[in-house]
């Protein structure tokens, strides 16, 4: 890293320290609370959270119905609460079918269901993905290796400050014969965004 990079990082850290000191001084938050929150995020945000919900939906039709009706409540059922989001942010689950394939984007920024999908990949936040997946979703999916038949409708879901989306992929043939752990291995973050299939 160049000297100017170190300088910029030092300036940023100094600003963060000033803000933390002010927040502490005013009783808004303590450094211990901030450290605890960072540690909790590091251990609680993972694509495994979304995969757990998907695999349960594959194996339990009642849960699948509840997941599609109210994904936030269904997440809480499996012990995955809102990940620190305000109650104004709602999680929606959209299911792939033989007729419909779903893919998620945030065209304005990079709104993303961090608690359920883990840290977002760099490509998700890129302007190229955010603009192209809306205009040419099949082309973008093909670049990820997901080539869909012409008769499958592709639906693009645009996340926002109020709504986050999670794709429920179809279970691949033979998944029912696998253990739950093996099923979990099939559901990647990219499947949950919709650019891949298990």
List 109, 131, 160, 179, catalytic entry:
109
Supply the pLDDT for residue 109: 83
> Pick the catalytic residue: 110, 126, 131, 160?
110
- Give the residue-averaged pLDDT of 154-171: 95
Same domain, 49 and 38: no
Shared-domain flag, residues 54 and 106:
yes
Task: Say yes or no to pLDDT of 83 above 60.
Answer: no
46, 86, 87, 111: the catalytic one is 111
Please tell me whether residues 77 and 155 are part of one structural domain.
yes
Is residue 106 annotated as a catalytic residue, yes or no?
yes
Residues 70 and 153 occupy one common structural domain? yes
What are 32's two structure tokens?
Answer: 């211990």
Which residue from 128, 132, 147 is spatially nearest to 196, judged by alpha carbons? 147
Between 35 and 173, name the one with better pLDDT: 173
Q: Are residues 24 and 82 in the same domain?
A: no
Per annotation, catalytic residue among 2, 46, 86, 106:
106
**With 80 as the cut, is the pLDDT of residue 98 above it?**
yes
Within this chain, do residues 27 and 99 fall inside the same structural domain, yes or no? Answer: no
pLDDT at 1: 40
Percentages helix, strand, coil for the chain (3-state, rounded to 5) are 55, 10, 35
pLDDT of residue 2: 45
Stretch 98-112: mean pLDDT:
92
Shared domain for 9 and 81, answered yes or no, is no
pTM here is: 0.78
131 and 36 both lie in a single domain: no
> How much of the chain exceeds pLDDT 70, in percent?
85
Q: What value does the mean pLDDT take over residues 105-113?
A: 87
Q: Determine, yes or no, domain membership for 198.
A: no
Do 53 and 32 lie in one domain? The reply is no
- Do both 10 and 32 map to the same domain? yes
Domain range enclosing 121: 45-193
Please say if 191 is a catalytic residue: no
State residue 156's pLDDT score: 98
**Number of folded domains that form the chain:** 2
Q: What angle do CA 118, 120, 123 make, to 5 degrees?
A: 150
Q: Is 173 exposed, middle or buried (0-12, 13-18, 19+ CB in 10 A)?
A: exposed
Task: Compute the mean pLDDT over every residue in the chain, rounded to the nearest whole number.
Answer: 87
Q: Are residues 49 and 26 in the same domain?
A: no
Residue 173 placed within a domain: yes
Same domain for 62 and 75? yes
């Amino acid at each position: 890293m160049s000297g100017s990079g170190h300088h910029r990082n030092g300036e940023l850290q100094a600003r963060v320290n000033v803000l933390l000191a002010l927040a502490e001084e005013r009783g808004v938050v303590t450094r211990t609370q901030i450290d605890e929150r960072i540690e909790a995020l590091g251990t609680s945000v993972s694509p495994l959270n979304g995969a757990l919900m998907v695999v349960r939906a594959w194996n339990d039709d009642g849960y699948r119905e509840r997941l599609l009706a109210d994904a936030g409540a269904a997440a809480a059922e499996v012990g995955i609460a809102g990940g620190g989001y305000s109650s104004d942010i709602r999680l929606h689950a959209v299911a792939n079918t033989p007729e419909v394939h779903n893919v998620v984007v945030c065209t304005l920024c990079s709104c993303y269901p961090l608690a359920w999908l883990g840290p977002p990949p760099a490509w998700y936040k890129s302007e190229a993905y955010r603009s192209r997946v809306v205009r040419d979703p099949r082309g973008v999916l093909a670049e990820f290796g997901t080539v869909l038949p012409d008769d499958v409708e592709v639906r693009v879901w645009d996340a926002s400050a109020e709504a986050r989306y999670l794709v429920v992929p179809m279970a691949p043939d033979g998944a029912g014969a696998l253990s739950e752990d093996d099923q979990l291995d099939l559901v990647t973050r990219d499947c949950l965004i919709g650019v891949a299939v298990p």
